């Protein structure tokens, strides 16, 4: 599908990047840390996700949280991100009863590329990690 066909299919406001500009696989990285002093008070040390080559605001950011515990991490969609390249702060919300004092976040991002049959979706594993610490 061309970007025009995608926009026609999904409606106005759905903008993709011209696939002819995207010749390399997408890349992403995460960095920083967050230290919670209370369940609602945290100090951020530059937690962010940086990326290149993302084609569409409908692509996903997939977070892996170790240990798995119901932390909510965002952003999750590229809808509000500058495309095709940019960065965004990362936010974390704790569950009501965390099971650990330390968490490690890693991420991956989906992206599309034009192939002879249309658009294929791939996934890029982000380099780096974000440490989350509970100091209470």
**Entry pTM:** 0.86
pLDDT, tens digit (0-9, with 9 covering 90-100), for 97-116: 999 999 999 999 999 998 88
State mean pLDDT over 1-5: 56
pLDDT, tens digit (0-9, with 9 covering 90-100), for 35-62: 999 999 999 999 999 999 999 988 999 9
**Full domain range(s) for residue 8:** 3-95+102-134
134 neighbors 105 (Cβ within 8 angstroms): no
How many angstroms separate the first and last alpha carbons of the chain?
A: 52
- Give the pLDDT confidence score for residue 58 in this predicted structure: 87
* CATH number for position 87: 2.60.40
Q: How many CB atoms lie within 10 A of CB 121?
A: 13
Q: Count up the domains in the chain and report the number.
A: 1
- Give the pLDDT confidence score for residue 42 in this predicted structure: 97
∠ CA 102-107-108, nearest 5°, is 165
Per DSSP, the three-state class of 80 is coil
């Amino acid at each position: 599908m061309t970007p025009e066909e995608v926009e026609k299919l999904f409606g106005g406001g759905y903008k993709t990047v011209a696939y002819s500009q995207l010749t390399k696989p997408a890349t992403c990285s995460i960095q920083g840390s967050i230290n919670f002093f209370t369940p609602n008070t945290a100090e951020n040390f530059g937690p962010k996700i940086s990326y290149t080559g993302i084609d569409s605001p409908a692509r996903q950011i997939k977070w892996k949280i170790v240990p798995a515990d119901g932390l909510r991490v965002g952003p999750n969609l590229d809808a509000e991100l500058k495309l095709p390249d940019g960065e965004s702060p990362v936010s974390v919300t704790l569950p009501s009863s965390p099971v650990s004092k330390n968490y490690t976040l890693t991420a991956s991002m989906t992206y599309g590329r034009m192939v002879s049959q249309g658009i294929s979706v791939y996934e890029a594993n982000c380099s780096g990690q974000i440490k989350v610490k509970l100091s209470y």
